Amino acid sequence: MKSKILALLGGTLISGMAMAGGYQVNLASQRQIGMGHTGTGLETGTASIFFNPGAMSYIRQNGVTVGASGIISKIAYRAPEPGTSTAEADNPLGTPFQVYGAYKVDELLTVGLGIYTPYGSTVKWGDEWSGRFGLNQLELQAIYIQPTVSYKVTDKLGIGIGFIYAIGGVNLQRSIPVQNQAGEYGKAELDGGASGMGMNVGVFYKPTDKLSVGLNYRSKVDMEVKEGDVTFTNIPGSLSSRFPEGTEFDARLPLPATLSLGVGFMPTEALTLALDISRVGWSAYENLRFDYSQNVNGSPTSVNARNYEDTYIYRIGAEYKVGEALALRGGAYYDNSPVQNGYLTPETPDADSRGLSAGVGYQVSENLSVDASFLYINKKERTDASDKSGGIGGTYKSIAYIPGIGLNYTF
Amino acid sequence: MKKYIYKTGMLALFAGVLLTSCDPEIDAPSASAGQADFTKYVAVGNSLTAGYADGGLYREGQLNSYPAILAGQFKLAGGGEFTQPLFTEEQSNGSGYLKFTGFDQAGSPILEPVKDKLAIRGLGADTKTPLYTEYLDEVNNLGVPGIKMVDVTTAGYGLNNPLGFNPYYERLIGNDPLPTSGFMPYVSKVAATNPTFFTMWLGNNDVLGFATSGGVAAISDAAKFQTSLDAMVAALTANGAKGAIINIPDVTGIPFFTTKATAAIMAKATAAKTALFITTADGTVRPATAADFVLLTSTVGTPETVGTATIPHGFSPYNPLANSEVLDEVEVTAVKAATTNFNNMLSTAAQAKSLVYVDMNAFFNSIQMKEGKATLNLNAISYSPAFISGNLFSLDGVHLTPRGYAIVANEIIRNINNKYGAHVPTADETQYRAVLFP
């Protein structure tokens, strides 16, 4: 059964589009999405593999969790005043997912494996819009595979560490402003697989039954693309030597480090409150650079500045147990954009975003529970000249609806 | 029951909010004409206004003329129909034009004339000027390729006669020797259209004719330029029409003069242990300097027999570039002085009638390359006056590509909006083509 689900998820590896700051996708647990994606300062079951490996040693039973979200997102674009051209990104359904398994070796040591998709972006503007020479379509995907160990130092203190092996890829398509005799524009497609490594460490401290705190650090992962394929189409014959067939590219995309501090507060048996603050090391993303194996239009590289800024995300969440079986959840967060003025691009037309979430959990049987979540993201309308990034200037507005469902099995 | 109503009410409200906010929307101000009135827009001018490109006037260029693009945008702010003297589909190649068919061994573009689907109906009374298929219905685009400011009051400028005439004007007015037909001066044809709004881009040929002939043709007389300009503006504003006067860009910034960069040719000559020699207006032969402009149409560098040797054209004092192949330093000074003078007159005329003055000269000066980089970048495409690769100029090195015309139209719109408090939206220039590559 598990392998079937994994295979199924493997078939839809495209993770969500950029609905968090930059191209981060904060959808790592269906219970925690319902609580505004807090969780660093809580024992979150198997999802502690992601939120805080230090809390993993506090799980009471072995467990397996699988879950997925569906991102329905739309981005509107309008050309700078007094232009009239508009566009809407027709993004495919994003399907970020998570699979966690945790096993208690003994009272003190717990081991686990997590597979999740913390970064990804699929934006599809098409090849008709006025910004098509900047971007037609971009897919970024990253799947983190994280074997993890957690050790209960005392009844109040746990530490954990996970090794991250990330796999993924990039596919970028854009129109080239050269036209053949039929007036058709050239097109370039860059496609390549990528991989990288990193780690996830956490400390969890629970001084009383009512209070817990956690600190988590997920390191930067440099995703490196080696010998990706560059495919040119519709290039006029007289220019074919400038856009040579068989060109390959190397690129590197940093998936930034995230440092999170979380607090959990349990005033009663039924109520859990949580607060998280994260700092995302976006400043690692300085430029988007492609190195070509042979000159493309006379140049061996293509470099566009990004100069992202480090950002903070503020989250609050709550869970209330209505009875033995049913839990209701709600949360909200505010996510600052790492994109500075002048650097807005159509790949991640980012702006400060507000997230509102709700969720339910239901204990079906002693071993099986279901979580469902719904997240609404509304990004502020943003107008930018995009004159420093080679982007497409104009006004962008994004919203997303993200339903999700997950299953937990304990044994 | 009350609870039920409350619950369904909340649910309906929630669903309503969800559905109405389902697609993100960006508000934009609606188009308006401000103090202008675009009901009847008439365009007056020369080849640039007609949509001339690639060395000819043909249907595609007409369809993408800047007045046609402007009219399309004016429509969003109350503008009316805009008729152009289009060549038919069957005669879509009009006067014929140049097509880019490849590169020669030296890397220069090969340009070949298109010879089919022409709109040539015969030769004029002078037995050499081609006559084009007539279009005698009233038109809004009165662009006449070749017309100078000083031509606008000339009676018989469009009459098929043996003395030389303008066939592009002839095709618009009919050929009867009457004051209402072939003898009608351009200014009268314009006055009869009675516009509510106009653009006037005249005067380029008054200096360009001199410049592209390498100083062989004359620069227009300044006094005649002034009286013709006054007559033209009076005709256009007779009924209180508002409009825009567009000035003359510095012709030495366009690819016709910059593509065969004199400094580069001089360097080649130096490498061949000789120099580049030119003939000036008074017949003097002298070595070229970087202040001279070798014309795009010059055959500089073509191997030719000089005495017993074969030497590239221009690389010997015995085979210098002809006067007509070079705009020499003295002539450049004359062109620049005349451009400034004419532009001052255009500016004064615009001010006197409170018209929009579009400083196209400043606009083109602002899009020259700087430190090897294009200074104009729109929607991730670079634009410069470079021949073919600059995306702005068509294959004749003087006239614009459809995309170049769209960019010019947008610049005019910005000026109109600014002057008349209008909100005319600009066009999406990416919907227009640049040079087509073979």
pLDDT by residue (tens digit) across B382-415? Answer: 999 999 989 999 999 999 999 999 999 999 999 9
What is the distance between the alpha carbons of residues B42 and B59, in angstroms, rounded to a whole number? 19
**Residues of chain B found within 8 Å of residue A88, distances taken between Cβ atoms:** 23-24
Q: Is B222 on the interface with A (CB under 8 A)?
A: no
Q: How high is the pLDDT of residue B10?
A: 59
Through-space distance between the first and last CA atoms of chain A, rounded to whole angstroms: 16
**Residues of chain A found within 8 Å of residue B25, distances taken between Cβ atoms:** 76, 397
Which of A75, A181, A392 is facing B436, going by the closest CB pair? A181
Q: Is B372 on the interface with A (CB under 8 A)?
A: no
Average the pLDDT over B25-49 and give the result.
95
Which of A79, A236, A399 is facing B24, going by the closest CB pair? A399
Q: For B249, how many CA atoms within 13 A lie in the half-sphere containing its CB?
A: 19
> Does B375 score more than 90 pLDDT?
no
**Residues of chain B found within 8 Å of residue A132, distances taken between Cβ atoms:** 430
Q: Is A287 on the interface with B (CB under 8 A)?
A: no
pLDDT of B131-168, one tens digit each?
999 999 999 999 999 999 999 999 999 999 988 899 99
**Residue A118 token pair:** 């913390």
Angle at which helix B204-212 crosses helix B329-352, to 10 degrees, equals: 170
Provide the chain A residues 196-235 that lie in CB contact (below 8 A) with chain B. none
Query: Could B430 and A75 be called an inter-chain contact, meaning their C-beta atoms sit closer than 8 Å?
Result: no
> Does B30 score more than 70 pLDDT?
yes
Q: Is A147 on the interface with B (CB under 8 A)?
A: no
Provide the chain B residues 381-400 that lie in CB contact (below 8 A) with chain A. 381, 391
Average pLDDT, chain B: 93
Q: How many CB atoms are closer than 10 A to CB A1? A: 8
Q: How high is the pLDDT of residue A22?
A: 73
Q: How high is the pLDDT of residue B18?
A: 55
What is the distance between the alpha carbons of residues A218 and A224, in angstroms, rounded to a whole number? 18
Provide the chain A residues 183-202 that lie in CB contact (below 8 A) with chain B. 183
Q: Is the dihedral of CA B201, B203, B205, B208 positive or negative?
A: negative
Q: CA torsion A240→A242→A248→A251, rounded to 10°?
A: -140
Q: Is the dihedral of CA B120, B124, B127, B129 positive or negative?
A: negative
Q: How high is the pLDDT of residue B7?
A: 59
Query: Could B23 and A74 be called an inter-chain contact, meaning their C-beta atoms sit closer than 8 Å?
Result: yes
Average the pLDDT over B120-141 and give the result.
96
Q: Which of B228, B252, B202 is nearest to B364 (CA)?
A: B252
What is the distance between the alpha carbons of residues A70 and A17, in angstroms, rounded to a whole number? 10
Q: Which of A195, A251, A55, A131 is nearest to B377 (CA)?
A: A131
CB B201 within 8 A of CB B405: no
Q: How high is the pLDDT of residue B306?
A: 86
Q: Is B25 on the interface with A (CB under 8 A)?
A: yes
Q: Is A328 on the interface with B (CB under 8 A)?
A: no
pLDDT of B215-234, one tens digit each?
999 999 999 999 999 999 99
Return contacts of A244-249, CB within 8 angstroms, 24+ apart: A244/A294, A244/A295, A244/A296, A246/A293, A246/A294, A247/A292, A247/A293, A247/A294, A247/A296, A248/A292, A248/A293, A249/A190, A249/A192, A249/A225, A249/A290, A249/A291, A249/A292, A249/A293
**Residue B224 token pair:** 């005649």
Residues in CB range of A274: below 8 A, 6 or more apart:
A35, A36, A38, A39, A41, A42, A262, A263, A264, A265, A315, A316, A317, A318, A331
**Chain B, nearest residue to A77 by Cα:** B26
Q: Sheet containing B356-358: give its strands across.
A: B141-143, B41-45, B197-201, B242-246, B356-358
Beta bridge partners of B309: B306
What is the distance between the alpha carbons of residues B135 and A196, in angstroms, rounded to a whole number? 69
Q: DSSP 3-state assignment of A86?
A: strand
Average the pLDDT over B310-320 and give the result.
92
Which of A85, A178, A381 is facing B428, going by the closest CB pair? A85
Query: Could A180 and B76 be called an inter-chain contact, meaning their C-beta atoms sit closer than 8 Å?
Result: no
Average pLDDT, chain A: 92
H-helix or E-strand containing B228?
helix B222-237
Average the pLDDT over B227-246 and give the result.
97
User: Residue B40 CA to chain centroid, in angstroms?
Assistant: 22
Alpha-helix runs per DSSP H in B272-377: 329-352, 360-365
Taken as a whole, chain B contains a residue count of 438
In A25-71, which ranges are E strands?
Answer: 63-69
Q: DSSP 3-state assignment of A244?
A: coil
Query: Could B413 and A82 be called an inter-chain contact, meaning their C-beta atoms sit closer than 8 Å?
Result: yes
Which of A178, A381, A391 is facing B437, going by the closest CB pair? A178
pLDDT digit string (tens) for chain A, length 411 residues? 333 333 333 333 333 344 456 788 899 999 999 999 999 999 999 999 999 999 999 999 999 999 999 999 999 999 999 998 999 998 888 899 999 999 999 999 999 999 999 998 889 999 999 999 999 999 999 999 999 999 999 999 999 999 999 999 999 999 999 999 999 999 999 999 999 999 999 999 999 999 999 999 999 999 999 999 999 999 999 999 999 999 999 999 999 999 999 999 999 999 999 999 999 999 999 999 999 999 999 899 999 999 999 999 999 999 999 999 999 999 999 999 999 999 999 998 999 999 999 999 999 999 999 999 999 999 999 999 999 988 999 999 999 999 999 999 999
> Does B21 score more than 50 pLDDT?
yes
DSSP label at B233? H
Q: How high is the pLDDT of residue A13?
A: 36
Query: Could A83 and B414 be called an inter-chain contact, meaning their C-beta atoms sit closer than 8 Å?
Result: no
What is the distance between the alpha carbons of residues B272 and B141, in angstroms, rounded to a whole number? 51
What is the distance between the alpha carbons of residues A14 and A252, in angstroms, rounded to a whole number? 19
Q: DSSP 3-state assignment of A396?
A: strand
Mutate to test the interface with A, among B21, B76, B114, B430 (most CBs of A within 10 A): B430
> Does B105 score more than 90 pLDDT?
no
Q: How high is the pLDDT of residue A17?
A: 40
Q: Compute the C-alpha angle A303/A305/A306, nearest 5°.
A: 130
Query: Could B28 and A179 be called an inter-chain contact, meaning their C-beta atoms sit closer than 8 Å?
Result: no
Q: How high is the pLDDT of residue A6?
A: 32
Please give the backbone phi and psi of residue A77, each rounded to the nearest 5 degrees, phi first: -135, 140
